[in-house]
């Protein structure tokens, strides 16, 4: 017998604690709390040694490799990168070099072509050390390194520099696990929501509680008073669908990739069509469990004069909001190392 699980390798944002400051959510004296958001999807053999049968790593920013070294100390079978921001792929060189020098063969990396090309501008030497597996928007592919796992990349908007950014849906034995990565909004077609309904586990960006779209992160909620929602209203009024698509439609984007977005280009969509907060997304897809990562709270404090919460306070706050919206799901703001059965 074996068990599919998710493990939290890091839960932070790009700069969890600024130098010279403290943060109520993160402990600056614990390296685990300073690691960027990273997860492992793995299958564990139910033996006395509790061995890992296989492991798929999702994102590898600062702190990820240090966590892996101190916990199980094994190289994941493959890595998936959600977007090309260095706080999510900094550790990829360390992992690939470890694999290359141990096994003398290329290491499997999964990402969209735009994300991978951007990563190579930072680490050009990795091109010959990697077996690149392209994830095309909206298309499901098999994960070659493990059995019975399918992954689908759904594009997202996370700012102009997050080229090819995507959320990943993993499917195994009728189980579904969705990682949003960092995003301001998902670029989902109406038909995509049906495939995302009732996912077993949703792992999502919780950078700020209230809307501040200039951060390129969605908020947890937009259900607040008129004064506080003005940031999002102004953003929607001033921008178009073209802005959200532009990181995926660069002049050098392959034709087959850009064609994936014809749905939005051939119809009269407005920016109001898209979802800009995680609560609305949860209401739409009704996941069984939700895990909130990447919390900052700095925008809440600066623009709304709202307190930055600690872990327990943030979890209680989210649970209360979800309860008021009659959404039946289990909510967790996890600690590093926490595992979830799927």
Catalogue all structural domains in the chain, each as residue range(s) with its CATH number: 2-341 (3.60.15.10)
According to the model, what pLDDT value does residue 178 have? 98
Q: Are strands 2-10 and 339-341 parallel, antiparallel or unpaired?
A: antiparallel
Q: Which helix (H) or strand (E) holds 150?
A: strand 150-157
> Which tokens hold the place of 177?
């696990």
According to the model, what pLDDT value does residue 5 have? 95
Q: What's the pLDDT tens digit per position in 205-225?
A: 999 999 999 999 999 998 666
Q: First vs last Cα of the chain: how many Å apart?
A: 14
Q: What's the pLDDT tens digit per position in 11-45?
A: 999 999 999 999 999 999 998 999 999 999 999 88
Q: What's the pLDDT tens digit per position in 131-164?
A: 999 999 999 999 999 989 999 999 999 999 999 9
Q: How many of the other CB atoms lie within 10 Å of CB of 191?
A: 9
Distance (Å, rounded) from C-alpha 256 to C-alpha 263? 13
According to the model, what pLDDT value does residue 76 have? 98
| Residue 198 and residue 288 in contact, taking contact as beta carbons nearer than 8 Å | yes
> Which tokens hold the place of 290?
């939700």
Q: Which helix (H) or strand (E) holds 302?
A: helix 298-304
Residues 83-102, mean pLDDT to the nearest whole number: 97
According to the model, what pLDDT value does residue 323 have? 84
Distance (Å, rounded) from C-alpha 172 to C-alpha 186? 23
Q: Is the pLDDT of residue 226 over 60?
A: no
Query: Phi and psi dihedrals of 193, rounded to 5?
Result: -60, -35
Rounded alpha-carbon distances, angstroms, from residue 190 to 26, 152, 263: 38, 16, 10
Show Cβ contacts of residue 250 under 8 Å, excluding neighbours closer than 6 positions.
114, 163
Rounded alpha-carbon distances, angstroms, from residue 265 to 139, 184, 253, 272: 19, 20, 16, 15
Residues 86-109, mean pLDDT to the nearest whole number: 97
Q: Is the pLDDT of residue 227 over 90?
A: no
Q: What's the pLDDT tens digit per position in 45-66?
A: 876 567 899 999 999 999 999 9
Q: What's the pLDDT tens digit per position in 284-322?
A: 999 999 999 999 999 999 999 999 999 999 999 999 988
Alpha helix stretches (DSSP H) within 19-156: 64-70, 86-89, 92-103, 113-122
> Which tokens hold the place of 201?
């586990």
According to the model, what pLDDT value does residue 325 have? 76
Q: Are strands 38-45 and 52-58 parallel, antiparallel or unpaired?
A: antiparallel
User: Is pLDDT larger for residue 189 or for residue 224?
Assistant: 189
According to the model, what pLDDT value does residue 47 have? 66
The alpha carbon of 187 is separated from its chain's Cα centroid by a whole number of angstroms, namely 14
According to the model, what pLDDT value does residue 113 have? 98
Q: Is the pLDDT of residue 326 over 90?
A: no
Distance (Å, rounded) from C-alpha 276 to C-alpha 240? 14
Query: Phi and psi dihedrals of 128, rounded to 5?
Result: -85, -5
Rounded alpha-carbon distances, angstroms, from residue 224 to 227, 230, 238, 294: 8, 10, 21, 22
Size of the chain in residues: 342
Q: Which of 80, 60, 78 has the alpha carbon at shortest distance from 69?
A: 60
| Eight-class DSSP state of 228 | T
Show Cβ contacts of residue 239 under 8 Å, excluding neighbours closer than 6 positions.
271
Q: Is the pLDDT of residue 1 over 60?
A: no
**The dihedral formed by the CA atoms of 274, 38, 11 and 282, expressed in degrees to the nearest 10:** 30
According to the model, what pLDDT value does residue 267 have? 83
Mean pLDDT of the chain: 94
Q: Are strands 166-172 and 175-179 parallel, antiparallel or unpaired?
A: antiparallel
Banded pLDDT at 173 (limits 50, 70, 90)? confident
Distance (Å, rounded) from C-alpha 194 to C-alpha 208? 27
Banded pLDDT at 108 (limits 50, 70, 90)? very high
Residues 63-71, mean pLDDT to the nearest whole number: 95
Q: Is the pLDDT of residue 118 over 70?
A: yes
């Amino acid at each position: 017998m074996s068990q599919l699980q998710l493990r939290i390798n890091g839960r932070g944002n790009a700069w969890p604690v600024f130098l010279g400051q403290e943060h109520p959510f993160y402990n600056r004296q614990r390296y685990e709390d300073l690691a960027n958001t990273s997860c492992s999807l793995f299958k564990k053999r139910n033996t006395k040694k509790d061995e890992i049968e296989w492991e798929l790593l999702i994102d590898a920013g600062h702190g990820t490799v240090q966590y892996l070294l101190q916990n199980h100390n094994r190289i994941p079978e493959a890595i998936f990168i959600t977007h090309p921001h260095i706080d999510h792929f900094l550790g990829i060189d360390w992992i690939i070099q470890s694999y290359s020098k141990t096994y003398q063969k290329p290491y499997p990396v999964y990402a969209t072509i735009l994300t991978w090309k951007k990563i190579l501008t930072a680490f050009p030497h990795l091109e010959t050390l990697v077996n690149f597996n392209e994830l095309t928007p909206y298309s499901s592919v098999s994960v070659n390194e493990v059995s019975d796992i399918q992954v689908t990349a759904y594009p997202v908007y996370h700012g102009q520099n997050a080229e090819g950014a995507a959320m990943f849906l993993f499917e195994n034995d009728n189980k579904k696990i969705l990682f949003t990565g960092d995003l301001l909004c998902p670029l989902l077609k109406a038909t995509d929501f049906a495939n995302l309904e009732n996912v077993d586990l949703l792992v999502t960006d919780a950078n700020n509680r209230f809307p501040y779209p200039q951060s390129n992160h969605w908020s947890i909620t937009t259900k607040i008073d008129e004064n506080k929602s003005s940031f999002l209203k102004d953003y929607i009024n001033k921008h178009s669908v073209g802005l959200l698509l532009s990181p995926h439609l660069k002049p050098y984007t392959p034709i087959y990739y850009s064609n994936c977005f014809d749905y939005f280009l051939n119809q009269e969509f407005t920016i109001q069509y898209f979802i800009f907060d995680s609560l609305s997304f949860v209401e739409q897809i009704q996941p069984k469990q939700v895990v909130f990562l990447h919390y900052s709270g700095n925008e809440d404090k600066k623009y709304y004069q709202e307190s930055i919460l600690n872990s327990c306070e943030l979890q209680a706050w989210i649970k209360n909001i979800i309860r008021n919206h009659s959404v039946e799901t289990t909510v967790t703001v996890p600690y590093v190392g926490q595992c979830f059965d799927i």
